Structure formats: C-alpha cells, structure tokens
Structure 1
Amino acid sequence: MGIKPKSPREALQPEPAPGPPPRSRHVRNPFVILTNMAISLAVFALLAVGAALYFGKQTFDQPGPLTEDKTVVISSGSGLSGITDRLAAAEVIGDGLINEWVFNLGVRFYKNETKLKAGEYAFKAGVSMDEVMRDLVEGNAVTHSVTIPEGWTTAQVLERVREHPVLVGEITEIPAEGALLPQTYTFTRGTTRQGVIDDMKEAQSKLLAEIWDRRVDDLPIETPEELVILASIVEKETAKADERPRVAGVFVNRLDRGMRLQSDPTILYGLFGGEAWLKDRSAITQSQLQAENDYNTYQIDALPPGPIGNPGQAAMEAVANPSRTRDLFFVADGTGGHVFAETYEQHQANVRKWRQIERERRAAEQERSTSGDSVQSN
C-alpha cells in the first residue's frame, strides 16, 4: 500500500495522541473493588492508630497540668478506674475525658493495672502521667512516724499510738510490759494501730535474741526475760547513755552478793502499774516505801516479777555487758548524772552531798518565789 505524501504544513503538525485503553474487566469486578476498599480502610486505620498512639505517648510523657504540689490519698481496693477518677478529680492528670483515657490506656499498655498501690502520695507541680504511674507502682507514698522514748511503759506507748491521727483501727491485743522496742517507726497513711504495735513486738523480739546471744558469761540472770526486767530498771534509773553500763554493773554486783536492788522506780510501778509515769510521781513517800508491793525492790529479794517499762537497745546491751566495777551504790550528783560508791560509808557521804544540793535548790526556789511575789505587789 502506498504512503500518501504530506505537505510541508501537514508535516509540521503533531500526530494525534492515541486514546486511553479500554478498562479491564478485572477492575470492574466487585471482589476487586471490595479488596481495594478494605486495603484503603486498613491503611487509614493504621494511620489513625499510629497518630493516636503518638498523641497518647506524647500526652503520657509530657509535663501534666498540675499547677501546684498536691497530696492525694488512694484508698485500698480502688482499682484502676477508681484511681483514674481520683487523680482526675485532683487535677493531677487533668480532668478531661481524653486525659483519663490516656492515663487508663497508658497504665494498661505497661501492664501495671494490677500493680498500683494504695497510700498517700505527694505529687509535684507538672508531674507527668508516667511519673504518677511509676510512683503508684513503686509505692512511693508519703511516710509518717511515731517515736517511742526509751523506758516508756506499755500504757504510755499505747496512749501515743492511739492518739496518732494517721493510724487507723483499734489496738486489739495489749502487749506485755517490756515486749515493745522503743524507737521511731515509719508507716504510710492507712496503717493500722495494731500493725504498728506488732512491728514493735517483732523488733523487740529480734533484738533481744541478738543481745542475749552476745551477753557475757556469769551474769546473775538466767533468761532473756530477766535481762529485760533488769534493763527496764536501768532505763528508769538513768537517762545518760554513758552511765547505763555502770548502773547495770551496780545491780549485777548486788545480785551476785544477794543484796536487794533498792530501786525507787520499782516502787512506783508496783503501786500504779503502767500508768506510774503518766503523772508526776517523782517523790516517793515513806508510806509508799513501806506499802506491800510485789515490785518493791526494797522489800523483795532479787528481781521483781516483771519489767517496769520497755527498755531500749542501749539499756539491754548494758545489762548484757555491764561495767566491771566494785560499785554497790549510786546517788544523784545534781547534774543529771550519778556518783558511785563501793562502800556504804562512801555512799552515805555522797547522799549527804546530794541532800545539801537539794536544800540549796529549795532555798533558791523559795527566794525566787518570794522576790517574784514582791515584784507583783509593787
């Protein structure tokens, strides 16, 4: 077939573009259409989930909306939803539904929904949701304390524990005298009073066993219970730590010689029990000294039937390892301490000095009182 020649003008004209190819039958197939739609939706869903995770992670990690430090109490048994509501109400994580949703899902994402602990928590301003979660998981709750002085009776200890405003519940088991270890105990809000008492008993039992194992030989005490009894007397006789071994040595020497201990605090405990020091009963009368009293070591031989308080670690260690002296007596020296003596004659001289100090103090107090009344009258 021949080729028709083109004129110069026709040769300069572009060739017309070919038309689009006819649509494939497969594209028009309903299955293909549905597949394409599913893939598109899946892509959009993945993008949406990714965006949500990114937004949630950013919100979970960034500083929170809390504008000032705040303390929040998480009750036991609240559950994740209850904890989330409590934190939102306190504005620790924000009070919007989105913030609650982010915190709830964030805790679940880290698989901590069953690890959150109850307690009283102090959150700083700007705390993030991640930091809140970690505090709750680690139980970094606010701690409180109660301090029990050495030598306090069980009645005094129970009164202090009952009065503590953070502890809860009642004391259901009254411990024996001498069964508690005086020291400072820390706890979180919601701790029971009985729980604190149990901790004191456990601490005393453990420490007493250790001290008993370290005691020196040939002590005139046969059981750990007798060590506590003598330590409770030492505790009441002196508040000076450096004197406790020497006071213990005096009582050990007396027991070795079959002498009576003659300790004034035992008289008070025998008359008034654990409430002996709830009131000022520093002066012992002659009638009290002569009254029938199972604890009166002026009347009974050897140790009283039980402790007269809860001795601390230092007093128990002093009894387990007392000073090696020949001292048999001691009396106050007017400075808060005591002066010791090996013989009764030395002791009597020391007593006379102490009586003179007492007389001078009373005279000085009377003079101050008289001068005070004179100033008021003028």
Structure 2
Amino acid sequence: MWRSIASNALTLFIAVLVLAAGLLAWGREEFTGPGPLAEAVCVRVERGASLSAVSRTLEAQGAVSDARIFRIGADYADRAGGLKFGSYLVPPGASMTEVLDILTTSGQSTCGREVIYRIGVLTAEMVLRELDAATNRYVEVVAFDPAADAPPAEYVDAAEADDLRWRVTLAEGVTSWQVVESLKRADFLTGEVAAVPPEGSLAPDSYEVARGDDRAALLGLMAERQTSILADLWAARAEGLPYETPEEALVMASIVEKETGIAEERRQVASVFVNRMRQGMRLQTDPTVIYGITNGEGALGRGLRQSELRRATPYNTYVIDGLPPTPIANPGRLSIEAALNPDTTDYIFFVADGTGGHAFATNLADHNTNVAAWRAIEAQRGEEPTGVQGD
C-alpha cells in the first residue's frame, strides 16, 4: 500500500514538474516572442508609476499579451525598478523584452508632444506638435509667432506637462542679433544675455533643451559647435584659397549663405567669389551692402537704392576691395564647406534666373545677356531693378 502511495506521489510530482516546465517555457516564449501590436502605440509612463500600473496600461493598449507575465519577466530581469518617466513609442510586434528595454533604457521620450522654436531669417515660430504613433509622423497642433501673438491655450496647457520635449532650431543665414532677440521671447528659457555674440559665431542647427535652461549657456553651446565645425573644415580645405585664416573663410561662407538658397549652387557661388578675389575684382554682392545698412538687425524690407550701392561703408563690396570685416550672418556647415572647397570653374559672374537659382557666366557679354533676362523677369513681376554684378 505504501509503495502504491509513494508511486502515485512520485507520478504526481513528475507531472507537476512537467507542468511547471511547460508553463515556464510558455511564459518565456510569451516574454521573448513577437508581441500582439499590429500598429505602433505611444505609451506614457507617469512619474513614480509602479510596474503593476504600467503593465496594466501596456495590456490595455495591446502592447503586451499578459500584464502578469510582463511583471514576472521584469522582476526576473531585475529591472522592475528601472522604469523611466516619459512617453515612448512601442513599435508593431515588439516583444515584452523589447518593450521593457524601451521603458527602462534611455529615459528620453520618443513620442508624445514637443515644442520646436524655429528661429528663421524673417520670423521666429513656436510650433507645438504631436507624434502620430500609427504613421510615426508628427502632426502640428498649433503654431504662433511669440513676437506678435499671445500663446494659444493649447500651448499654455501643453507647456505644463513634465514630459514635453523642447527644441530650438536656427535656420542657416540668421544673424546673431536675430538669434538673441528671438531667444529673449522664448518663455521656456531663463537668464539674461549680456551681449550679442560675434556675427557668424553661432552654428545653425537643432538644439535639444530643457524648460528653464539658461539663454547664455545655450548661446555658448551654439558658439562651441560653430568653432568645432569651422576647425574641422578648415583642416580639410582646398589649397590655394585667397583667404589666410578661418575667420576670413567664415566671412566668405556667410556671403555664400546669403547669396543662394539652393544647396547645389553653394560651391559654384563660392567659386565665383574666389575667382574674383584671385583676379583682384570686387565681390559686388548685395547681401553685404544690406548688412552695412541694417547691421543684421532685421530685414531691409525693400530693394537696394543706387545711392546705397555707391555709398562707401565697410560692407559695401561694390566699393571696397576684398572681404568685408566680419561675417554678415551665421552660415551653416554646407556653406562653410563650399567656401573652403569651392568648385573649380571659370565663372566670375552670376545673376538670378527667376527660378530661385542663378545663371552663371565666364565673361561680361554672357553675363549681360543673363542680366537682361533677369531684368525682363523683374519688370514682368513689377519689381524694382536690383543691383547685380557688372552693372
């Protein structure tokens, strides 16, 4: 009898072990295998949220198949206490292991809402946008100009969220004065700016910031980035350039930046100015004249007058020889590259062609033909004639 009982107990014990092993294998497969999501979702982890609460949220949103298995797997991996506050994009088919990695690794939100403060050449715009998890594209919620408009309610409400991301972007060709004035209107930044940084010293780029960051510190970061870019590109410059220092190259890059908005033209435009300097010709570029009038403090808002083209200023390259004394804007990396590695051409003239680009010429006769075509376009548009090289 006791032998029968022992045999039955052993059989039951083995059955329990087999069942436990099966459950363990099933749980491991559930934890590491592909998840149930058919489309990406944005999962928010509240500040101080427990693993239990987050696992229930994940199950409710369809990101995991079983909240209990997710909790057990997180405990087993010793990551139950590593949840990071924020909003995170969980891609289709993500396993529980991958979901746990997403919620515990970086701590930087990958979805939800963000504010981008875009500082442009003519205007600055605050844009609140939200990631559409299904398409992985940002959708604009509201946009406004802080210099002209009161912050809309959507922005005011969103600004209170702890996980809202903030970013400042500088357009290529903005002046240092424009950057400083725009940052003064950024209500999410703090601190005073003692002086406008030297022209050309700030790198047009995108900068991730936090609410309450110091304006002067952000300007310092922009300057450090521009210094690094210029140093790297100066070291890789072409031979025989007609400027001797990185600072002179930066002046040229700023002129190239203001002369063309077509990326593919930058090296051609740079070649024209390099060729002119090599031949002892004046640069004759309108943006330098404009800077001499405005000092970079806003747009001129009209065409140049003939009297202004003849007026002697340190920035009037129709009058002075060589480069102006400082950059006329903050050039981007591509314009600095163009100034330091221009195309090899024989061009010494260019003029707008009506498409946003330019017509280039190697001699005055061809240039005059291009100018006549541009004058016809100006007349057709009802615009005042602008100053061009060779006039």
Tell me which residue corresponds to 1:332: 352
Mapped to 2, the partners of 1:237 and 1:109 lie a distance apart of 61
User: One-letter code of the match for 2:256?
Assistant: V
User: One-letter code of the match for 2:100?
Assistant: M
Tell me which residue corresponds to 1:359: 379
Please tell me whether residue 120 in structure 1 is matched to residue 119 in structure 2: no
Tell me which residue corresponds to 2:102: 135
Higher share of residues assigned helix: 1
Query: Deviation of residue 135 (structure 1)?
Result: 1.0
Sort the Cα spacing of 1:284 and 1:208 in 2 relative to 1 into closer, same or farther, 3 A: same
Tell me which residue corresponds to 1:237: 259
Query: Deviation of residue 222 (structure 1)?
Result: 1.4
Mapped to 1, the partners of 2:184 and 2:72 lie a distance apart of 41
Tell me which residue corresponds to 1:24: none
Q: What is the number of equivalent residue pairs in this alignment?
A: 302
Q: Is the 8 A contact 2:277 2:283 kept in 1?
A: yes
Tell me which residue corresponds to 1:261: 283
| Aligned counterpart for 1:310 among listed residues 304, 308, 330 | 330
Which aligned pairs between 1:8-47 and structure 2 lie closer than 5 A? none
Tell me which residue corresponds to 1:276: 298
Tell me which residue corresponds to 2:228: 206
User: One-letter code of the match for 1:237?
Assistant: E
User: One-letter code of the match for 1:358?
Assistant: E
Mapped to 2, the partners of 1:56 and 1:221 lie a distance apart of 69
Gap regions ≥5 residues in structure 1: 1-46, 364-378
Q: Is the 8 A contact 1:122 1:142 kept in 2?
A: yes
Which aligned pairs between 1:76-95 and structure 2 lie closer than 5 A? 78=47, 81-82=48-49, 84=51, 87=54, 91-92=57-58
Query: Deviation of residue 101 (structure 1)?
Result: 10
- For residues 96-118 of structure 1, the C-alpha deviation after alignment (integer angstroms, 9 at most, x for no partner) is xxx99997886555333675444
Tell me which residue corresponds to 2:241: 219
- For residues 100-145 of structure 1, the C-alpha deviation after alignment (integer angstroms, 9 at most, x for no partner) is 9997886555333675444432357998875543212222631667
Tell me which residue corresponds to 1:31: none
Sort the Cα spacing of 1:122 and 1:325 in 2 relative to 1 into closer, same or farther, 3 A: closer
Tell me which residue corresponds to 1:366: none
Sort the Cα spacing of 1:149 and 1:129 in 2 relative to 1 into closer, same or farther, 3 A: same
Query: Deviation of residue 231 (structure 1)?
Result: 0.9
Q: Is the 8 A contact 1:92 1:127 kept in 2?
A: no
Please tell me whether residue 249 in structure 1 is matched to residue 217 in structure 2: no
Where 1:331 maps in the other structure, the secondary structure is strand
Where 2:256 maps in the other structure, the secondary structure is helix
Mapped to 2, the partners of 1:186 and 1:260 lie a distance apart of 37
- For residues 69-115 of structure 1, the C-alpha deviation after alignment (integer angstroms, 9 at most, x for no partner) is 7645557xx5xx446588479x3467xxxx99997886555333675
User: One-letter code of the match for 1:141?
Assistant: S
Sort the Cα spacing of 1:120 and 1:161 in 2 relative to 1 into closer, same or farther, 3 A: farther
Where 2:321 maps in the other structure, the secondary structure is coil
Tell me which residue corresponds to 2:164: none
User: One-letter code of the match for 1:338?
Assistant: A
Q: Is the 8 A contact 1:142 1:189 kept in 2?
A: no
Query: Deviation of residue 211 (structure 1)?
Result: 1.8
Sort the Cα spacing of 1:56 and 1:82 in 2 relative to 1 into closer, same or farther, 3 A: farther
Sort the Cα spacing of 1:57 and 1:253 in 2 relative to 1 into closer, same or farther, 3 A: closer
Sort the Cα spacing of 1:68 and 1:230 in 2 relative to 1 into closer, same or farther, 3 A: closer
User: One-letter code of the match for 1:356?
Assistant: A
Mapped to 2, the partners of 1:168 and 1:245 lie a distance apart of 38
Tell me which residue corresponds to 2:77: 110
Mapped to 1, the partners of 2:184 and 2:53 lie a distance apart of 29
Tell me which residue corresponds to 1:342: 363
User: One-letter code of the match for 1:221?
Assistant: Y
User: One-letter code of the match for 1:208?
Assistant: L
Mapped to 2, the partners of 1:160 and 1:171 lie a distance apart of 14
Query: Deviation of residue 230 (structure 1)?
Result: 0.4
Q: Is the 8 A contact 2:52 2:71 kept in 1?
A: no
User: One-letter code of the match for 2:374?
Assistant: W
- For residues 313-334 of structure 1, the C-alpha deviation after alignment (integer angstroms, 9 at most, x for no partner) is 3322222122334443322233
User: One-letter code of the match for 2:298?
Assistant: A
Mapped to 2, the partners of 1:355 and 1:346 lie a distance apart of 14
Query: Deviation of residue 287 (structure 1)?
Result: 4.6
Tell me which residue corresponds to 1:38: none
Higher share of residues assigned strand: 2
Mapped to 2, the partners of 1:321 and 1:161 lie a distance apart of 33
Mapped to 2, the partners of 1:198 and 1:61 lie a distance apart of 46
Sort the Cα spacing of 1:340 and 1:362 in 2 relative to 1 into closer, same or farther, 3 A: same
Q: Is the 8 A contact 1:65 1:92 kept in 2?
A: no
Q: TM-score if structure 2 supplies the norm length?
A: 0.57
Query: Deviation of residue 162 (structure 1)?
Result: 7.9
Q: Is the 8 A contact 1:71 1:122 kept in 2?
A: yes
Which has the larger Rg? 1
Where 2:89 maps in the other structure, the secondary structure is strand
User: One-letter code of the match for 2:278?
Assistant: D
User: One-letter code of the match for 2:315?
Assistant: Y
Mapped to 2, the partners of 1:225 and 1:68 lie a distance apart of 51
Q: Is the 8 A contact 1:168 1:193 kept in 2?
A: no
